[in-house]
Structure 1
Amino acid sequence: MFESALNNSKNLGAYFSDKETGITINQTQDFNGIFDEYHFGTNSNDTIVGIGTKSGDNKIYALAGNDTIIASSGNNYIEAGSGSDIINLSKTSKNSKNIVYGDSKNNEDVGNDTIIGGDGIDLMYGGKGYDTYHAGDKDIIIDSDHSGEVIFDGIKLNGGVWGENKQAYIDSSNNSISYKLNESTLTLTILKGNKTLTIKNYDINKQSLNISLSKNPGKEVAIVIDTTGSMYDDIEAAKESAKAIAQNIFRSNLNNNEPNNKNSEVYSKISIVTFSDNNIKTLGSYNNYNSFQKGINQVYEQGGGREYHCAAILEGMSNFTKDNGLSKEIYLMTDESGDDNHRMSEVINKAKNFGSSISLRSAFNDKSKFDNSVKINIISINNNHLNLKRLSDETNGLYLQPNSIDELKDALFDISNQGTSKDETIIGNDKNNTINGKGGNDTLKGLKGDDTYLFEGSFENDTIIDNEGKNKIIFKDRSVNDIDFVKVKSDLLLIDYKTKGGPLNYVKVINFFNNDKAYKNKTPNITSIKFKDYTINEETLTFMSNSSSNTYNFLNDTSNNFYINKGKGKFIVGHKNKENLITTNNYDDVVIGGDKNDIIKTNSGNDVIIGNKGDDILISRFGNDTYIFNLGDGNDTIIDNKGKDTIKFNGDIKNLNFTKIADDLVIKYSLKDSVTIKDHFKNRRNNISKIEFNNNSYIKDLHNITKELNQNNIVNNNNLDKNNLSNLNKNLTVNLDNNINSFISQNQINKIIQDLNSYGNDKGLSLNFNSEFKNNDIMQIYNS
């Protein structure tokens, strides 16, 4: 740098003498009599004050060291050199044109420089290192490594969120500042009234100079930490908890969930406030995780013994900006009940009335109303301070008293990972997360664990991507009759067709339907959907996900009768509290009754019929149908004309009791539950072919089990005498267990059961089957 300055000088003399190098130079004069003034520093820490030239330029080369350079009138060319330098142009004139390099011109030097612009047009090159620019109107900033910060017209630039009406990004802290980005030239123009600042080489993905721009507004949070002496053992736990909050709030894009990834889709800001006695202060505000880490590491125990919680919360709210589109939350961490609780009403009133309720349609790209109120979350450390619970209860926040740091981190993850009224992506972890996207068109990814997705109010259009665990959906304020179920390729669309005052709300579950026939009856990615009046369980959803139906009907209060005679297969759920009459078509249908006495009629097709509670009549004509029963379903009747049909019993069913009544077969599976198969003994086409249990065991060929008995098999294998058959109790239990050493064959037991049926109704003979078996070919008969 110094050599370059010498080469550019026309005359050398005694004007300047460098004591370290022994080199001297004169001032230079061109042919018009214009003088340039050269000012050189040393390799030590110098203070260089420019001697204002009236006609030429000040050329200042500070060399190494942590230098302070104060330029004056005229045009200034400054190379500050290595070291952390302060370059002050505030004394330059309005007509000055200044060029400043925080390092050398070739950017080989590194230093954390501060460049203070003047009233003229300043061109600022920060170079490498964390540089701070104090810029004014018409200044231009070029920073080579994107590291540093900018103060424009006295206001620190943090960035902001896209405003649709202005077609610019609106600053999150000052609505009078906006940002316009030319992504092709990497030029960012900042506007404040009639003043402009230009930043070249701006990278939105790297958040150059800590200016974060986002299409999606996120949260504005203040973490308020008690640093009094009693927190001595808990400060580190509080700091770790704060980091957990920040990791979730500074969430990353869809492809990367690392908290320090700067490809952020959501703009958020976190302030850190500490309090001890009257020492209540904001350490800083941060819009990315890396800068937040630096701030939280400055938190330490400060002694003292009085906790002014309310004053500290008000300090936290002082860092918020009204009506900037960011949802607002306070996190108070303390181990004491507080010494200024008389101010609680003041805090609650301010939190509930912070800013106004604005329509984001005018300011941002969202279509919903945004609530500017502040939620106060309380983290009570080691003690249960229920008086503080008032703050959380009255501001819709949460009160936490964790038993361990891990429990606290899990709770904080779910709290801080909740959505807002804007479009955003919410990503869980490997725990059992509870995710509520709230408003906006959100993408919800639970990752591992058994996750719960909550929907209430105007949740708008959300997408669930979750292929791991047993996950459930809860519609807190919706009836099952409010939602339409629609299959779109492999996705399930849950449409709230009763949405009022705007477009339809819906939830899309990606890859809900199983299109891989190799995995028949595969458990779906959603195993429970709960409404305020009904719950669809895992079994029903498994049938849904494996069915070929394209439409799904849940009968409502005004219509509990359903008839369809055309179209593709249907998935129909009857009204829970009314008697349903459901008739379907010739396709593969899934029909689920309610809790009353239903009549369900299906036609041809391989249908799945679940009567549920009540004494139901289940009628099917053709096809290979499946009838499903659970404990508590009541006394149901099957009328089936043809096909290879299956009865499936769910739950902990110990015994099956078979009874012949006229031509009907009655299967009793609990004291209060039974299934009657009409005309089972009259015509083989009315038979049920198979009985299944939920442990994958089964009884095959129910028809042959009910034929005549061979007398010899009883005598030889069970020491039973033909003449004593009439004296048997009503129950005969058949246990199937692969651990039994002496047994008879399946064919033999079939014949025994066949002959028992010849005794008919007059003797009230019945058979009990125990379903706790693993090998259907190994059976033992004993008298019960």
Structure 2
Amino acid sequence: TYVVTQGTNIILSYPSEGFSGVLDDNPDISYAYTPNNGLYGKGSLALFSISTGKTGLYHLSTTSVPFTDTNSNTLYGEAGEDVLIGNDGPDWLHGGAGNDALYGNAGNDTLVGGSGNDRIFGAEGDDRLEGGDGVDNILGHSGDDRLFGGKGNDFLWGDSDALDSSLHGNDYIEGGDGNDEARGGSGADIIYGGQGADKLFGQKGNDKLYGGLNNDYLYGNEGDDYLEGNEGYDRLYGHEGNDTLRGGSGNNDYLAGNDGDDIYLFTAGDGNTTINNFDNSRTSQDILRFMAGIRPVDVLIKRTNNDLKLTLQSTGKVITVQSYFSSLNYELYAIEFSDGTSWDGDFVRAQALIPSDSNDTLYGYASDDTINGLDGHDSIYGEAGNDVLTGGNGDDRLQGGDGNDLLLGGMGNDSLKGQNGNDTLDGGGNANYLFGGNGNDTYLFALNAADYTGINNYDSDGGYDVLRFGESIAPSDVVATRTSVNKELSVDLMLWKSDQLIFLADYLSSNSSLDVIEFSDGTNWGYQTVIDMIKQHSLGADYLYSSDAVNNYLSGATGNDYLSINTEGDFYLLGGEGDDFLIGGTGNDIFYGGSGYDEILGTAGENTYRFGLGDGVDLIRSYPSSVLQTVEFGSDVFPGDVSVHIDSGNLILNLEGTTDQLIIQDFIYLEPSYQFKFSDSTIWDSVDILQWLRVTDDMDNVIRGDDTNDVIDGQAGSDRLIGQAGDDTLIGGEGDDELYGHGTSYLSDGNDTLIGGLGYDTLYGDKGDDAFFGGAGDDQLNDRYGNDTYHYHIGDGSDTIHDQNGVDTLVFGEGIQPSELSLHQLYDDLLIHFSNSGDEITVINYFHTGQQSSLENITFSDSTIWDFNYVSSIVNIIDYVRQVGSSNADNLIGDANYDNLQGEAGNDTLEGRGGNDVLKGGDGDD
């Protein structure tokens, strides 16, 4: 469409529609045209509307429509992407629907974008610009303009950056609904964000910015600006000039005045506010001003690290002034109240050091501070300077910082750290932890003060450090022993009269030892004095090592002692009285636990274990080995005094008529080589013991026990062992064995131990609390009653567990980590896959909803426990095909799913194809 002028007439030409015509400038003439284009005009074209329903460019100008006067002219764009251009004078342009472009030109114009994403340009004059619906771009250009974004995420500019600043006006901008961005330009502008998360920029001039309802960003820039966030989580930046900032009623507002003399306002209804008052000039006079209704007594002063915390006690709202205490660049010039009260920095710093009887956190300054925490669990930091810090009552934490500090814990369980400098530390009462740090430090300790004091004297600078005992503590009152924590390096000093203990952490390392331990009578103990003391056994619990041995002899004497060999050589370890723990080395060691409950770990070597009447209970733990281990009974023990039985794989030797008992752990399962010597020259070996436990031969045996506690060992061969009633121990040995804990009745009583051994074994426990050890090979483990345990060790193959009723547990042995297992659910079965070996345990009907009970727990040697809920949370649900071959030459082929192929006997061919498969050939050439 082309619109041109000829005198007072309008000539319109529509070549594409085959139409052209002339519209007279006559008030009585109206004109309309259809079907694709509509046109009407009325009066002196004071109203001219084009409604084509198409995209078009329609100009209201002297080159297209003869509006040479300055009357009020109106142009409607209607639907489509219209371009409406005003003339000089107060024009009224309305884009209507569509993405329109409106240009007001000179005059005080009103431009309304309507619906759609519009571009609105006011140009010269004091214009009113409205975006309406859609994402609008609105520019006032010059003059005092009023901009309204309306609905949608709009962009509004009060002035054009291209204009000289002298032509910029004082604009009024409202973002309206949506997430708007508004910029005032030069001039004293007023900007409201309205609803939505808005970004408001005052730019040059003394502007007023108001955030509105949501989380807004306000940036004043140049000039003395006023910024107010109102509701929402707002971020306000004053930048240059003397600005005034108020966060408003929203919570967690952030205010940064930046350069200039800024004022932060806070009213009784405002929310939590953070102030960053950094100013490049240390001479700025920035003020936090509390408004009417907030009194000085209502505000609580606290320091957290370098931040100032001002809490309005009536509402609990907190003003945080970041880094207030770090430098003058962050410090407020004053905190003012409406009653005329003013707090300066000195007042605030003094108030921040006032303690209470609550749990305080107090920080000193670079000066020499004296701080007392009073009651409560306090944290006190001296910072620089020679400080005196007192915790008072409560469990306190004192930290001296730089300088020569005095730290006094007071009552309670206190932690004292001197850090740098020559510090003095006194924990006071209860249980305390003292750490001197670098420098020449002194630890004070008084009689009947702390029950327990831990001292960590690590000093990388190698200072001269002293432990100084108070009056009434004599050298004879103190006993030095190794400690139960970090036994090889740490030392306990026990005050045996007052039952006080000092723990010297890592005392035996080069950077942590004390230089001297001083007593009030003038006695001094050096490092070697302490070393000589800890090598002697005491009346209490001793911790002795091979480095403490004299002629390879270690004796614990009385007390619950810990004796350990960590070097080569043959040693004699004597526990003495008490419950002792003895650990051998790589040599041929002799162990005698003495009375009490003793645990003995033989480790490597041909070791000897001595046991006699009155020695209590000794537990021997040894590793699988062909190296001979010897048990020597005392002169008062004869073969007829010793009874032998098995309990959960452990060999139990009881001295008849006494409570004395020697236990060899996992004797049946590990089958170590043992001999047992008596003073009458009788010697039992492991073979004798196993014969006593009813051992069979290497043939295929069928052995039936009786109603006593039977021990039956099938040895080699494919055996069938039937325990009957009683607590039986059945050992399959080599071969494919069948072990029945019960007799002809499945309800035969007895807590049985079933040990499959090597081969493909089938084990039945039934009634009673039974223990299953499948051993090497792919075994079937079955039980229907009782609280049963299924033991699985590395190399035990792929076992299947079918259990019902009771509280049952799968127990993994040493070396099996949770991280190497992956769990899968196949229908109702649980599959436990071992990534290292490829073996797999199948628990039948583990997830079956009608199952009365299955495995309740899966346990590991590191004390990890998986229950049903945890297993269900990590299991991977899969679908796979399980194929089991025969004794013939089988050809088993999987598919794309998870396959489990077992060839069994015969020369088999197994092909897994896609998916994560388990292939086990079995016997034969596969």
TM-score range, shorter chain: 0.3 to 0.5
Which structure has the greater CA radius of gyration? 2
Q: Which TM-score applies when normalising by structure 2? A: 0.33
Q: Taking CA–CA contacts closer than 8 Å with sequence separation of 6 or more, which of the two structures ends up with the larger relative contact order?
A: 1
Greater helix fraction, Structure 1 or Structure 2: 1
